[in-house]
Amino acid sequence: MNILDYPDREMLAIDLANHLAGELEAALLTHETVTMAVPGGTTPGPVYDSLCAADVDWHRVIVLPTDERCVPQTDLRSNARLIGERLLVNRASAARFLPLYVEGAEPEDCLAEIEATLVPNLPISVLVLGMGADMHTASLFPGMPGLEAALDGDAPALAVARPQTQPEARITLTGPVLDGALSKHLIIYGEAKRAALERAISMPPEEAPITAVLDGITIHWAE
Ligand SMILES: O=C(O)[C@H](O)[C@@H](O)[C@H](O)[C@H](O)COP(=O)(O)O
C-alpha cells in the first residue's frame, strides 16, 4: 500500500487524472479494449473533470461504476448520473458505459446482464475507489447482510439490501472483481478518513471492507 500526499485536492485531481490517462493508454497498447471502474460519492468529481479531457482512445475504454444506488439515473444519488455528467463528457464521451442498475428493475434482476457484459471485459485494468469513514468501499459496508458473499463470492456483482446507513438498495462489484484489478487507486480526503484507513489495516474485511482491496493499491490523500 503506497500513500501519496498532495498539497491540496486540486493538485490531487489533476495529477491523478493524468496518471489514470497514462495507465489507460498503456493498457491500450496491449489490449483492444480496457475496463475502468470508478466510484460515486462526493470525492471523485474533480478527478473526472480533469480526466474527461485526456487524450485517450476513449472509444476503446469501457467505464462502469464500482457500485450503484438503485435509483433513477435522474436522481442526484445516481452514480451513473455523476459519471455521465462529470466523466463521460468531452473526449471521454466516446467511452462505452456499462450501467449496473436498470431503472424500474429489481436489483437482483440486473445481475445477469451485468455478468454477461462485464465478465468478458475482466479483469478491470484501472480501478478507482472511494472510502467511507466507516471503512466501506464501493457498496461493501461493514456488517451488511450478504457481506461475506460480496467479499468472497464468485459472482462479479451482487445486489445488497439497503445498508443501515444508506437510504436505498445498492448493486456492488464484489471483492474479488475489485481486488483483481490490474491497477488500483483509492482517493480519500481529510484526517478522519486517513485515520480510519490506518485503523482498517489491522482489522478483518468483515469489519473494514476496504482491507479486501488494499493489496498493491495506491492511496491518494489530501486534507
Ligand atoms: O456509491 C458511492 O457513494 C461510492 O461508490 C462509495 O463507495 C463512496 O466511494 C464512498 O461512500 C465515499 O463517498 P464520498 O466520496 O462521498 O465520501
The answer to whether the CB of 68 is under 6 A from ligand 1 is no
* pLDDT confidence bin for 165, thresholds 50/70/90: confident
DSSP assignment of 49-103: HHHTTS---GGGEEEEESEEESS-TTSTT-HHHHHHHHTSSGGGGGSEE--S--T
**So what's the pLDDT on residue 161?**
81
Q: What is the average per-residue pLDDT within 24-40?
A: 98
For residue 1, name the pLDDT band (cuts at 50, 70, 90): confident
Q: Which of 12, 48, 67, 134 to mutate to test the pocket of ligand 1 (most atoms within 8 A of CB)?
A: 67
Torsion of CA 121, 123, 124, 126, to 10 degrees: -130
pLDDT greater than 90 at residue 182: yes
Nearest Cα neighbor of 87 from 13, 182, 5 is 13
Query: For ligand 1, is residue 41 a contact (CB within 6 Å)?
Result: yes
To test ligand 1's pocket by mutation, which of 38, 66, 184, 197 has the most ligand atoms within 8 angstroms of CB? 66
Sheet holding 67-69: strands in order across? 67-69, 170-173, 157-160
Beta bridge partners of 128: 185
- pLDDT at residue 164 in the model: 73
Say yes or no: CB of residue 172 within 6 Å of ligand 1. no
User: Atom of ligand 1 at shortest distance to CA of 39?
Assistant: 5
Q: For the segment 56-107, what is each residue's pLDDT rounded down to a tens digit?
A: 999 999 999 999 999 999 999 999 999 999 999 999 999 999 999 999 999 9
Strand partners, 46: none
Q: How far apart are CA 96 and CA 126, in angstroms?
A: 15
Mean pLDDT for the stretch of residues 139-158: 94
Percentage, residues of the chain above pLDDT 70: 100
- Residue 65 Cα to ligand 1 midpoint, Å, equals 11
Per-residue model confidence (pLDDT) at position 167: 78
ipTM score of complex: 0.97
- Confidence at residue 61, expressed as pLDDT on a 0 to 100 scale: 99
Tell me, using a 6 A CB cutoff, whether residue 66 lines ligand 1.
Answer: yes
**Minimal CA–CA distance to 179: which of 113, 98, 122?**
122
Q: What is the arithmetic mean of pLDDT over 23-46?
A: 98
